[in-house]
Amino acid sequence: MMFPKDFLFGVSMSGFQFEMGNPQDAEEVDLNTDWYVWVRDIGNIVNGVVSGDLPENGSWYWKQYGKVHQLAADFGMDVIRIGTEWSRIFPVSTQSVEYGSPDMLEKLDKLANQKAVSHYRKIMEDIKAKGLKLFVNLYHFTLPIWLHDPIAVHKGEKTDKIGWISDATPIEFAKYAEYMAWKFADIVDMWASMNEPHVVSQLGYFAINAGFPPSYFNPSWYIKSLENEAKAHNLSYDAIKKYTNNPVGVIYSFTWYDTVNKDDKESFENAMDLTNWRFIDMVKDKTDYIGVNYYTRAVIDRLPTTIDFGEFKMNWYTLRGYGYSCEEGGFSLSGRPASEFGWEIYPEGLYNILIHVYNRYKKDIYVTENGIADSKDKYRSLFIISHLYAIEKALNEGIPIKGYLHWSIIDNFEWAKGYSKRFGLAYTDLSTKKYIPRPSMYIFREIIKDKSIDKFKGYDPYNLMKF
Amino acid sequence: MMFPKDFLFGVSMSGFQFEMGNPQDAEEVDLNTDWYVWVRDIGNIVNGVVSGDLPENGSWYWKQYGKVHQLAADFGMDVIRIGTEWSRIFPVSTQSVEYGSPDMLEKLDKLANQKAVSHYRKIMEDIKAKGLKLFVNLYHFTLPIWLHDPIAVHKGEKTDKIGWISDATPIEFAKYAEYMAWKFADIVDMWASMNEPHVVSQLGYFAINAGFPPSYFNPSWYIKSLENEAKAHNLSYDAIKKYTNNPVGVIYSFTWYDTVNKDDKESFENAMDLTNWRFIDMVKDKTDYIGVNYYTRAVIDRLPTTIDFGEFKMNWYTLRGYGYSCEEGGFSLSGRPASEFGWEIYPEGLYNILIHVYNRYKKDIYVTENGIADSKDKYRSLFIISHLYAIEKALNEGIPIKGYLHWSIIDNFEWAKGYSKRFGLAYTDLSTKKYIPRPSMYIFREIIKDKSIDKFKGYDPYNLMKF
Amino acid sequence: MMFPKDFLFGVSMSGFQFEMGNPQDAEEVDLNTDWYVWVRDIGNIVNGVVSGDLPENGSWYWKQYGKVHQLAADFGMDVIRIGTEWSRIFPVSTQSVEYGSPDMLEKLDKLANQKAVSHYRKIMEDIKAKGLKLFVNLYHFTLPIWLHDPIAVHKGEKTDKIGWISDATPIEFAKYAEYMAWKFADIVDMWASMNEPHVVSQLGYFAINAGFPPSYFNPSWYIKSLENEAKAHNLSYDAIKKYTNNPVGVIYSFTWYDTVNKDDKESFENAMDLTNWRFIDMVKDKTDYIGVNYYTRAVIDRLPTTIDFGEFKMNWYTLRGYGYSCEEGGFSLSGRPASEFGWEIYPEGLYNILIHVYNRYKKDIYVTENGIADSKDKYRSLFIISHLYAIEKALNEGIPIKGYLHWSIIDNFEWAKGYSKRFGLAYTDLSTKKYIPRPSMYIFREIIKDKSIDKFKGYDPYNLMKF
Amino acid sequence: MMFPKDFLFGVSMSGFQFEMGNPQDAEEVDLNTDWYVWVRDIGNIVNGVVSGDLPENGSWYWKQYGKVHQLAADFGMDVIRIGTEWSRIFPVSTQSVEYGSPDMLEKLDKLANQKAVSHYRKIMEDIKAKGLKLFVNLYHFTLPIWLHDPIAVHKGEKTDKIGWISDATPIEFAKYAEYMAWKFADIVDMWASMNEPHVVSQLGYFAINAGFPPSYFNPSWYIKSLENEAKAHNLSYDAIKKYTNNPVGVIYSFTWYDTVNKDDKESFENAMDLTNWRFIDMVKDKTDYIGVNYYTRAVIDRLPTTIDFGEFKMNWYTLRGYGYSCEEGGFSLSGRPASEFGWEIYPEGLYNILIHVYNRYKKDIYVTENGIADSKDKYRSLFIISHLYAIEKALNEGIPIKGYLHWSIIDNFEWAKGYSKRFGLAYTDLSTKKYIPRPSMYIFREIIKDKSIDKFKGYDPYNLMKF
């Protein structure tokens, strides 16, 4: 089978994880995000909450974007997704500007860092010049520090900078979004407001062991932040749509849930509702497409008693040994290989999510992230093939999937794990800043060229495509 | 070689980890400690910070102390160390009583829970009735909740109940200690003020990943709490000594440090000073003996740059794969077996600590804890033999070691790890509350009977006694 | 429950595996067995078929028997089983002496090595002098080289010395047995003709990868040798019985079989018939008791087609990961620990065998071997307890089990594996020839003293006694 | 760096391992080799000496050669090496034909199976038709059964069919070789007499645990067979050269030796002499090139005493955990990944061998085999890149290496291991007989296209190219 003619193959990136690379360049290093502060906090480092790796030693997309775009072009890709950094555009607070006032944009324009604005335009123009479509996402985990002091929140210290807990944050985000649309509507092909809001909320306020800011357990804030992110998206959708007819959407990390007992619909529905549907339900009327990020599943079972957290209840828990909870570089209890992140390779989950997302929302879908931490490139080719197989299967059932954006083209700063998790199609030498395509990148090129995975179909050493 | 005639063999216990066993018994369940609150906090449980096991399902020493004492007597032991729970004696605040006032004890006596006082007396009398010496320790990790609200501190919420950070706490402790001495000086053979103060401080405020309350990173508080514990000890020493001539001391968990580079004296001294000597130096003039708890070593290496935490500096870090940082049930990178806690069996470290502690302080020493989480009893016999070998070696060099108290006689609630770590010479069936001696307990009896480990000396499958 | 008053606890040994220890002592080193030749064959060593360890560096029972007997007495044992070496008694062929002739014994007496005869008497007298019962077995794997040239047979070279394939061998064995009875009937309490004849046949001629002589695949010879061993036993039974009323029997290694499919009776019966019943059926009328050696089970499944080997058919094969086929020092696929030999701990199998053996033959039973290669003594205590539990259970059902002889009291030469497999209750230092009881030996003493395992019953970390 | 313009990239195959695929086709199934008999011997199967897999269920090159050749052409290869089966050409003995007689070829022609002759011609013509060079090897492990009865030899039974031990065998081989040259000199581009003669000898008569026929330990025969193979080669060289000027050579599996002690030249030289140089020295004047097969190294250490085997001495032994002796699918003790065969990836060894072979013999070299059992394709791309790096390095030092022939293009019957070891660039589905290129095959194509590995050079996750 061939993928549709207009199906887009490409890669996704973000700002913070890719841009920096030269610690000496004051203009390049963006000190103004919560994550920048978070990853160098000595308490976080001493306790192994973060890796100690620093983003300014990274892959240097800010400088070498041309090389990265060329790589994408050389390997036949159709689209690149980038992230813009709110804190680069607005290093200082925009709260003084009245939202919706006639001169809002002019005032914002004065507050904006015009060097950053023009640098992003150069990046975008280079993407277009290389014949690639431009997919821009406005928010990817990092909040400006004028909105979020993650250490103060973590320590329970009094602060106004409480990030997504603050009702002001959605308004500020809408200003930023409208400003970006005003500046870049002429060049951007696809817009996304934000990436994986649920991850920000869940790892920030509920399952706080992943090293995400502010790692402050508070189930109410988990929900509150999710609601404010939804509000921010909805405002931004209307704001962007003033300037463009191009699609505007949201990118969400969906987890597929398998239950220990097949008939355990209660656990399944509770998990799907809380972690997948709750947010999307809030934004479903203000999105042209849904961006699906998919990495692996979770296997869950019923709790002996349902826990009431006030804003939500939970009747399930996650089993170790499957999905996100495997031994790093080992195998899941189902015998599937696990990535160097300990994430089980489970393409069925992507298929299931695509079906469920479409059936519930009837929207176009982009697979906006999918990839594997695999520094040895042992599984990446098969990972790509088997997840494209899941997409092909869903396409065959009529699901309108418009593209596949692999995470990612080069290695990146993987948040709390730093540079130890290597997601790049191309290996990144952090000392020389060279990008060297791994073998799997040539396989991806082969697939893009064919617009098909047919010739790989019989080769499936882990039976990943037997579903 | 024979151990000295008056060398004492026995076991150590604490209150919180052993007493409870019947969740329905309102009198028995002690709700009034920070740990009781801590281990059932839903945030702690959701995030795996604590096990979810609850102390009220424990080994039931409060009720079955007679069986435990009989076991000790049957196996030839000389001494039992117990811990009394501050919060049982004083379930409500003693701050209203002026410290040092003439009627202090009478007022405290009114505040005290007399049922608890008389129950502890029954326990103590039974120990003595069975011909065992009575070793009493007054503080073992658990603070009354009227002194410490661990969740509030953890969340950074405003509270006066800040535990050892408060300068009031040493005073309250001195009241408690004096009250205990007044009540029990007639029966107690050896007194200890407190157990492992450094663990409370380090895991509470610095290396906060072990699940100890309040798990709030603050290097200043790490030092502050240590100083207040020292002050508390010193006050309590004088207080107890008013009522007894028996020895009064402090129990401390010493870690031995091996450096990656043999000549790395800077790391060694920095680590020894901070984690071993700093506290003991503060109390050395107010202690009749030093209680040495020893489990394993740490292997350390130099940091590229020394970190200045204000109150102290650190120039070293701990390597994974040795000492406390091994795979659970695996082997250290030196090829030594590791316990089910992931703690390397390393008796050399005990020998080294005994030599260094004596040379620095010239005090009598009791080995007040030494044991292994080994539910399968695969290593416990050898663990005991090899650590007694270390003691024998130190005795041969003239170090005045007065006894060996194994941790422990029955399985116990192992703090954040709950019931998964089994330290008992006797297996404890938590459903029937039966105590069944493991094979190693018969080996311990054999050694006690002989007052010698000579007949085991050639048998050393891991070469633990080749030092 | 108590074991019966007259139940015998003790240990089993053999000649070849225990006797030698001084390579310089020409009288002690017995060069005249097939195994002596086999284990030093350069081809066997180069190819790892044998370990390269040599029996003359062994545990030195020949010299130190007194120490070994004292150990047994000190630990409360009732009985010792020893093996006598045919090749020591008759270093040269006895074929010139007519079997059954009136002067057979006198002629044999002239051929016999009288030094060996009298040394064995000293050994036996010492056993009795220490208050122990004397159990003597006449043949334990080793054939005189005048009857078996294992290298010639292995290489397919022409030779008359074909061991148990020769019809002359049973006759020669009967001469040896009668001579021994004539010499030692006054002192021996229990007699056995031979140990594990099926092992000799199976590993010699069928499953030839275990490094046993002659390792020559020939299914007919597998059966032929078994038949000749049965004939040898039957002749020897009559011969010995002329001189004694004490029990005379045979010692056999029984394997219990679990089938993958519960209802697979065909596999079960085929396996039981071939490897357990076939031999015993041939000797059942000439045995006063059956000696049961038990180490572990096998898990089997049906072959797609039954293989016809002429003298027998096989419809089953053995699965790896269970029974004798586990990873050394690992765990079986049932989660049971495996010994350093890779043998699963499976006491249920002993119970099952005892029931099946008794129901089929209605004979008294001695458990004549049971033990574990466990140099670290991690499992031996539990191994003993759980297998005695199996015996207790069978006793409760009325099976007349007369004793339990552990293999073994000291470490021994474990055939092709040499000294790497340590079966001793006491560790044997091969350089100093010292015997040092492992912890489990004290547990065995405890059990013998109590004649009960009751006090260990609740302690069962691997749930071995849950059947 | 670019490989030389005339450097040949391709693949190697043999007859027996690739040809058969249809058990029902009487013409296709070649019953007439020692290996055909060997792998179905029930004793070999029962004892796990061979896998039980049968060659007639194989990859079916005999029928599908066109598909295989097309695959090679599609992936840009320059050359294919095939093996012809002596037993197909001469299913009956050629001993009646006088060697060197004027009518020898005519007589041989009558004995030859003309169907096989013409089928091989079709295969060869197809290779040439697809623009590939044709490399033909005449002997690859399998002897006609009229020359070798492997079971009889294995069992030590009397037989004339003693394979390479017979002095007649070289003569018969020379007849076969001359006949082949007479028939195919017009089409063959490169000739080899035989593949890995030392493997045949070593695994047949010395290190006999690998399941190779006849697995009969006899150090003299090890040397004798080697000498007869050399004689056979020398005769065949002259015979073939009568009909062609194209290069004629021999293919040899070289092992590189690292010694535990760097200065241990004695072990190194003894090992190199015995296993590498001894044979090549015998044929060095009759070979136009040397075919180097390389898989991995061995790590060796000195024996305490040198063993004298008569025809040769050995002063070394091989350590487990390195080279050919690693855990299957694990890692070597040097931290290198090991293949599913347990063979360490060690490209340095290829470089070292190329240098040493050239320095000693000053001949052209083809790398005639190099590959990895890797069903999951986890390492194959890197394996190819890193071994080509070794070749590039040797080329840079002036070593005249003419080509690289990967083992192999499709999966094959891996002798005693059957189909469990997967060496194919293309996965072979044994039920459908489809060939599906694994990802690494596309990487090989990429390299061939570039005639360079430069673009992969920075990507080296195991540091295989850091030598």
Q: What is the ipTM of this complex?
A: 0.97
A307 Cβ under 8 Å from any chain B Cβ: yes
User: What pLDDT, on a 0 to 100 scale, did the predictor assign at position D54?
Assistant: 98
Contact B412, B423 (CB under 8 A): yes
What is the average pLDDT across D398-421? 98
Helix (H) / strand (E) containing B198: helix B197-205
Cis, bond preceding A214 (omega within 30 deg of 0): yes
User: What pLDDT, on a 0 to 100 scale, did the predictor assign at position D114?
Assistant: 98
User: What pLDDT, on a 0 to 100 scale, did the predictor assign at position B423?
Assistant: 98
What is the average pLDDT across A334-338? 98
Q: Calculate what percentage of chain A has a pLDDT beyond 70.
A: 100
Name the residue among A375, A437, A440 with its Cβ closest to that of D439. A440
Contact A403, A365 (CB under 8 A): no
User: What pLDDT, on a 0 to 100 scale, did the predictor assign at position C172?
Assistant: 98
Among chain D residues, the shortest Cα distance to A422 is held by: D461
Residues 6+ apart with CB under 8 A from C388: C3, C404, C447, C453
Cis, bond preceding C59 (omega within 30 deg of 0): no
pLDDT digits (tens, 9 = 90+) for D423-455: 999 999 999 999 999 999 999 999 999 999 999
Contact A178, A109 (CB under 8 A): no
- Position D222 confidence tier, pLDDT thresholds 50, 70, 90: very high
User: What pLDDT, on a 0 to 100 scale, did the predictor assign at position C105?
Assistant: 98
Residue in A196, A369, A392, A446 annotated catalytic: A369
What is the average pLDDT across B315-321? 97
Name the residue among D437, D457, D461 with its Cβ closest to that of A377. D461
Task: Extract the tokens encoding C361.
Answer: 């033959």
Residues of B in contact with A208 (CB under 8 A): 43, 47
Catalytic residues of B: 369
User: What pLDDT, on a 0 to 100 scale, did the predictor assign at position B149?
Assistant: 98
Contact D451, D78 (CB under 8 A): no
User: What pLDDT, on a 0 to 100 scale, did the predictor assign at position D163?
Assistant: 98
- Position A302 confidence tier, pLDDT thresholds 50, 70, 90: very high
Q: 0.80 exceeded by the pTM?
A: yes
User: What pLDDT, on a 0 to 100 scale, did the predictor assign at position C158?
Assistant: 96
Q: What is the mean pLDDT of chain D?
A: 98
User: What pLDDT, on a 0 to 100 scale, did the predictor assign at position D28?
Assistant: 95
pLDDT digits (tens, 9 = 90+) for B15-65: 999 999 999 999 999 999 999 999 999 999 999 999 999 999 999 999 999
Helix (H) / strand (E) containing C125: helix C114-129
B463 Cβ under 8 Å from any chain C Cβ: no
| Closest C-alpha among C233, C117, C251, C140 to residue C190 | C251
pLDDT digits (tens, 9 = 90+) for C279-321: 999 999 999 999 999 999 999 999 999 999 999 999 999 999 9
Name the residue among D47, D157, D218 with its Cβ closest to that of C208. D47
- Position D255 confidence tier, pLDDT thresholds 50, 70, 90: very high
For chains A and D, what is the number of CB pairs under 8 angstroms?
65
Residues of C in contact with D49 (CB under 8 A): 209
Tell if the CB–CB gap between D307 and C208 is shorter than 8 Å: no
Chains near A, with 3+ CB pairs < 8 A? B, D
User: What pLDDT, on a 0 to 100 scale, did the predictor assign at position A292?
Assistant: 98
Helix (H) / strand (E) containing C267: helix C265-272
Burial class (CB in 10 A: 0-12, 13-18, 19+), D331: middle
B157 Cβ under 8 Å from any chain A Cβ: yes
pLDDT digits (tens, 9 = 90+) for B328-341: 999 999 999 999 99
For chains C and D, what is the number of CB pairs under 8 angstroms?
39
Task: Extract the tokens encoding C458.
Answer: 């609740």
SS3 content of chain A, % helix, strand, coil (to 5): 40, 20, 40
What is the average pLDDT across D76-83? 98
What is the average pLDDT across B412-424? 98
Contact B193, B250 (CB under 8 A): yes
Neighbours of B242 (CB within 10 A): 10
Interface test with A, best of D459, D462, D463, D465 (most A CBs within 10 A): D459
- Residues 183-222 of chain A with CB under 8 A from chain B are 206-209, 216-218
Among chain A residues, the shortest Cα distance to B156 is held by: A156
Tell if the CB–CB gap between A381 and D439 is shorter than 8 Å: yes
Q: How far is A220 from chain B, CA to nearest CA, in Å?
A: 12
What are the helix (H) ranges across B206-250?
219-241
| Closest C-alpha among C108, C247, C246 to residue C174 | C108
Tell if the CB–CB gap between C442 and B438 is shorter than 8 Å: no
Q: What is the mean pLDDT of chain A?
A: 98
Domains, chain C, ordered by start: 8-456 (3.20.20.80)
Residues 6+ apart with CB under 8 A from D82: D13, D14, D15, D123, D124, D127, D134, D135, D136, D137
Tell if the CB–CB gap between B459 and C434 is shorter than 8 Å: no
Tell if the CB–CB gap between D382 and A455 is shorter than 8 Å: no
Residues of D in contact with C216 (CB under 8 A): 155
Distance CA C243, CA A45 (A): 84
Query: Tokens 């070789």 belong to which residue?
Result: D177
Name the residue among B47, B154, B208 with its Cβ closest to that of A47. B208
Q: What is the mean pLDDT of chain C?
A: 98
SS3 A394: helix
Distances (CA, A) of B72 to B401, B442, C300, D442: 21, 11, 48, 72
Query: Tokens 């599913």 belong to which residue?
Result: D340
Q: How far is A307 from chain B, CA to nearest CA, in Å?
A: 9
Residue in C56, C369, C392, C414 annotated catalytic: C369
- Position B295 confidence tier, pLDDT thresholds 50, 70, 90: very high
Distances (CA, A) of A466 to A335, A389, C125, D434: 14, 10, 73, 18
- Position C403 confidence tier, pLDDT thresholds 50, 70, 90: very high
Chains C and A make contact, 3+ CB pairs within 8 Å: no
Chains near B, with 3+ CB pairs < 8 A? A, C
Query: Tokens 């990429």 belong to which residue?
Result: D446
Residues of D in contact with A455 (CB under 8 A): 436-437
Residues of C in contact with B379 (CB under 8 A): 378
Tell if the CB–CB gap between A459 and D438 is shorter than 8 Å: yes
Chains B and D make contact, 3+ CB pairs within 8 Å: no
User: What pLDDT, on a 0 to 100 scale, did the predictor assign at position C344?
Assistant: 98
Angle between helices D380-396 and D439-450 (to 10 degrees): 20
User: What pLDDT, on a 0 to 100 scale, did the predictor assign at position C390?
Assistant: 98
Interface test with B, best of C420, C449, C459 (most B CBs within 10 A): C459
Tell if the CB–CB gap between A377 and D381 is shorter than 8 Å: yes
Task: Extract the tokens encoding C8.
Answer: 């015998």
Q: Calculate what percentage of chain A has a pLDDT beyond 90.
A: 100
Query: Based on C-alpha coordinates, what's the Rg of chain D?
Result: 21
Distance CA D191, CA D249 (A): 6
Distance CA A154, CA B280 (A): 33
pLDDT digits (tens, 9 = 90+) for D166-196: 999 999 999 999 999 999 999 999 999 999 9
User: What pLDDT, on a 0 to 100 scale, did the predictor assign at position B391?
Assistant: 98
- Position B229 confidence tier, pLDDT thresholds 50, 70, 90: very high
Chains near D, with 3+ CB pairs < 8 A? A, C
Contact C85, C30 (CB under 8 A): yes
- Position D219 confidence tier, pLDDT thresholds 50, 70, 90: very high
Establish whether A98 is a catalytic residue. no
User: What pLDDT, on a 0 to 100 scale, did the predictor assign at position C290?
Assistant: 98
Q: Which residues pair with D364 in a beta bridge?
A: D289
pLDDT digits (tens, 9 = 90+) for D87-142: 999 999 999 999 999 999 999 999 999 999 999 999 999 999 999 999 999 999 99
Residues of D in contact with C309 (CB under 8 A): 42
User: What pLDDT, on a 0 to 100 scale, did the predictor assign at position A300?
Assistant: 98
Residues of A in contact with D379 (CB under 8 A): 378
pLDDT digits (tens, 9 = 90+) for C372-398: 999 999 999 999 999 999 999 999 999
Query: Based on C-alpha coordinates, what's the Rg of chain B?
Result: 21
